[in-house]
Amino acid sequence: MSTNDTILEVKDLQTYFFNRRGVTKAVDGISFSLRQGETLGIVGESGCGKTMTALSLLGLIPKPAARIVSGQIILDGQDLVQLSSQEMRQIRGRKISMILQDPQTSLNPVFSIGNQVIEALSISHHENRSSMVKRAVEALRNVRVAAPESRLNDYPHQMSGGMKQRVLGAIAIASVPKVIIADEPTTALDVTIQLQYLRLLKDIQAETGMAIIFITHDFGIVARMCDRVAVMYAGRIVESADVRSLFNNPTHPYTQALIASVPQMDKTDRLFAIDGQPPALFDLPEGCHFADRCIHAQTRCHQEYPGNFQAGDDHSAACWMLDPSWVQTEQEATT
């Protein structure tokens, strides 16, 4: 695809929390782009900033404690950071939407499924009730909900977890947005239903051409779903590559450790675990944020945060090991 296909571009996005502890850098200067019909995976441990990135894109960060302090979110040529809350209400659902993680808490238990799907449709379609009902039925049919006409009258407690997740998908895609953010949508599903749901998202993407940001910690899902991957750690993207390059040549030590942590059927050895814990986002170290857990760390790693170095075509990582001077340091250390 050419750069003309770019539908979303995030530039140096910084989302901070301001509280009694000081400044918590939840999202600390990340940049990425997304092309039409493309799936970008964002992976990393819990607390690394994946969901806060998604909420920043949607303008749903918890205010007044959190705010976007700098950066741009350019969607279809429009900078979302500059829009008011009222203007963002016209963007959410129409141009960018989100499939939330937990259907148990995302659907309102006192409203019927039909009411909740129609409410989402009403933001972008100003039609009479009968037309909206038809659109709601079609939205449920698109996500393969059986007997959608009767399901409109059901309440969330009358549906299985897999069906509720499909309803969330119907709400997100009802207005055919250009970008869908899927925030770990398969976490609450069993393995069989997970596979069906992933196939469903791929089918919908092929039919509509929408772009997907897939937030997950499951590298199996990344391999199946994504075209490109951004690995996040402590609020920053530490490695970015197409999915094949990332699996064949993981460059950042954190990425290598994450992939090594994935269980393999042909190995019965003790599972690999990353030592230590991610740093507190309100008290980040001076140098590389992964240095305290990295087996390759040297003095420079603890003193200065690395820039992005190229590891291949469309493949970059924020690691001093990619700096040409690193090789000399390593050689000097062994002589």
What type of residue is 249? Answer: N
The owner of tokens 């391999």 is 223
Within 10 Å of residue 1's Cβ, how many Cβ atoms? 10
What type of residue is 188? Answer: A
Distance CA 24, CA 13 (A): 14
Asked whether the CA dihedral 180, 186, 188, 194 is positive or negative, the reply is positive
Nearest residue to 221 (alpha-carbon basis) of 255, 186, 249, 190: 186
Tokens representing 48? 């690394």
Whether the Cβ atoms of residue 106 and residue 188 lie closer than 8 Å to each other: no
- Extract the residue ranges of the chain whose pLDDT is less than 50: 1-3, 328-335
* DSSP code per residue over 270-294: PPP---S-PPPTTS--SS-TTGGG-
CA 45-46-51 angle, 5° bins = 110
Which domains can be identified in the chain, with CATH numbers?
Answer: 3-95+177-334 (3.40.50.300), 106-176 (no CATH)
Residue 4: predicted pLDDT: 59
- Residue-wise pLDDT for 164-198, tens only, equals 988 998 888 888 899 999 998 887 777 777 888 88
Whether the Cβ atoms of residue 50 and residue 44 lie closer than 8 Å to each other: yes
**pTM listed for this prediction:** 0.89
Residue 327: predicted pLDDT: 56
Phi, psi of 34 (to 5 degrees): -140, 130
Residue 5: predicted pLDDT: 86
Residue 101: predicted pLDDT: 78
Distances (CA, A) of 270 to 258, 262, 267, 275, 294: 15, 11, 9, 14, 20
Residue 143: predicted pLDDT: 85
Tokens representing 29? 């200067």
210: left (phi over 0), alpha (psi -120 to 50) or beta: beta
Which strands sit side by side in the sheet containing 315-317, from one edge to the other? 96-99, 179-183, 211-216, 39-43, 228-233, 236-242, 315-317, 309-312
Nearest residue to 100 (alpha-carbon basis) of 108, 91, 90, 111: 108
What is the Rg, in whole angstroms, of the alpha carbon atoms belonging to the chain? 21
